[in-house]
Amino acid sequence: MTKFSDLNLNPKVLKAVIETGYETPTPIQAGAIPPALEGRDVLGIAQTGTGKTAGFVLPMITMLARGRARARMPRSLVLCPTRELAAQVAENFDTYAKHVKLTKALLIGGVSFKEQDVLIDKGVDVLIATPGRLLDHFERGKLLLTGVQVMVVDEADRMLDMGFIPDIERIFSLTPFTRQTLFFSATMAPEIERITNTFLSNPARIEVARQATASETIEQGVVMFKGSRREREATEKRAVLRALIEAEGEKCTNAIVFCNRKVDVDIVAKSLKKYGLDAAPIHGDLDQSQRTRTLDGFRNGELKVLVASDVAARGLDVPSVSHVFNFDVPSHAEDYVHRIGRTGRAGRDGKAMMICAPRDEKNLDAIEKLLQKAIPRLDNPLKSSKSDEASPQADDTAEKKPARTRSRSRSSKAATPAATETTEAPATPANLKVVEAAEKPADAPAAKVENTENGDRDSRSKSSRGSDKRSDKRPEKRPDNKVVGMGDHLPSFIALSFEERRAS
């Protein structure tokens, strides 16, 4: 069996590897390191969690151990799709280069340009960057790429998904033609293959596993979920997730929950925290400092559940993740492989569970075609056993039924006055008002009753007054010329003027 001591690494690099406790390289490391040390281009294809990072960091440190960096001209360049993956590569570099005097700079978003400019001006041996921030520094005239000897593209297929391929092509054009290129990816999409044919020269192709395959150490399962009502689907789906997590009990030491949308990441994290689970969100809209704190807390064991978008699906190395929960079925089948690859790493056992709604069944079929096997179906934990999470749903559902009944009763009550407006109210002593006037004509009793009705209407709501005004217009057409519509607040002197005019 091949050991690191057989790979012709620099003795100081080998010492750092042994101090970390590793003796035997993974298949991708054993296949990529020897041709990289020979100066050949390398095309590495391996599933996530197989140690691709060390596969290019170790030979890069060995090749850069001799020589010095010049100001603004890094000697090597590592491109990563996300800030978290770039920071992880920087940590690996610090671990394996601790006995070698090499300098590095990390160029990622969310960090001050000024601090990064200071490091570049001093000269760095290794430049680890995301494509956008690297081009920002170049366009500001703070960086030259003409001294790059080794260029590494990590997680190339993720670069494709995030739309970085035009930036990658431009960065390739800014580096020397004589550079050595190490290209690593988990899948080989046609666009990725076109780039490798264009920018790699006779590469050593190392493919240690079938493209886009899940590790055999991961136990997979999917819950076929259908909500009772459309407006209740999201709530019930979160209840299923909580039931799955709690059903694992102590087996679930920590877990990553993946959502397709950033807004769902925040909602699911808040829901889990509300029900007593230690959870926190991480996605691209959060500040870099907050993302770093959340990720560090998860790695240190201070945080149990990390709710993430696909920003955390690639390259994050947390060896002890016991479970991965896919709250949503990923829209791209390859993303499923990367998501569940966060568990079962380095030969450990892992478990991955997914919740599939009816509208996601097409994506599930695509995943099973990619894996070339069916994912086992799991029972819905809310239906198979009465969990504590199901009771809030039942309560919420029960609360809405009386609300509808009340709304109907209110509407029926509101319709009653409208239906009876055309009928005259009975002339009882309680609703009769005496019109103050000096002289009372023969039809005064009738006037009393109608004035009384209008007076009662004035005490109603504003909406009722509008209908009263319409009904008040009808008596004005009568030939008897009665005074109608002003109610019991009519001043006596105004009523007197009407009576005098009538008498004349």
Q: 110-126 burial string, b = 16+ CB within 10 Å, else e?
A: eeeeeebbebbeebbbb
One-letter-per-residue 3-state SS of 420-480: HCCCCCCCCCCCCCCCCCCCCCCCHHHHHHHHHHHHHHHCCCHHHHHHHHHHHCCHHHCCC
Give the burial class of 310: count Cβ atoms within 10 A of its Cβ; 0-12 exposed, 13-18 middle, 19 or more buried.
buried
State whether residue 161 is helix, strand or coil.
helix
Give the burial class of 234: count Cβ atoms within 10 A of its Cβ; 0-12 exposed, 13-18 middle, 19 or more buried.
middle
Q: Residue 85: what residue type?
A: L
- The answer to whether 284 and 85 are in contact (CB under 8 A) is no
- The answer to whether 375 and 364 are in contact (CB under 8 A) is yes
What whole-number distance in Å separates Cα of residue 127 and Cα of residue 152?
Answer: 10
Per-residue pLDDT tens, the chain, 504 aa: give them.
Answer: 588 988 999 999 999 999 988 889 988 999 999 999 999 999 998 876 678 889 999 999 999 988 787 888 999 999 998 888 898 899 999 999 999 989 999 999 878 888 899 989 988 999 999 999 999 999 999 899 999 999 999 988 888 877 888 999 999 999 999 999 999 987 788 888 899 999 999 999 998 765 556 777 889 999 999 988 889 999 999 999 999 999 998 889 999 999 998 899 999 999 999 999 999 999 878 887 888 889 889 988 899 999 998 876 565 667 688 999 999 999 888 788 888 888 887 667 889 999 999 999 999 999 999 888 999 999 988 875 544 444 444 333 333 444 444 444 444 444 444 343 333 444 444 443 433 433 444 444 444 444 444 444 444 444 444 444 444 444 444 445 555 555 556 666 666 666 666 666
- The answer to whether 287 and 110 are in contact (CB under 8 A) is yes
Q: Model-level pTM?
A: 0.61
- The answer to whether 38 and 99 are in contact (CB under 8 A) is no
Task: Give the single-character DSSP code of 6.
Answer: G
E strand intervals along 8-48: 42-45
What whole-number distance in Å separates Cα of residue 434 and Cα of residue 447?
Answer: 9
Give the burial class of 183: count Cβ atoms within 10 A of its Cβ; 0-12 exposed, 13-18 middle, 19 or more buried.
buried
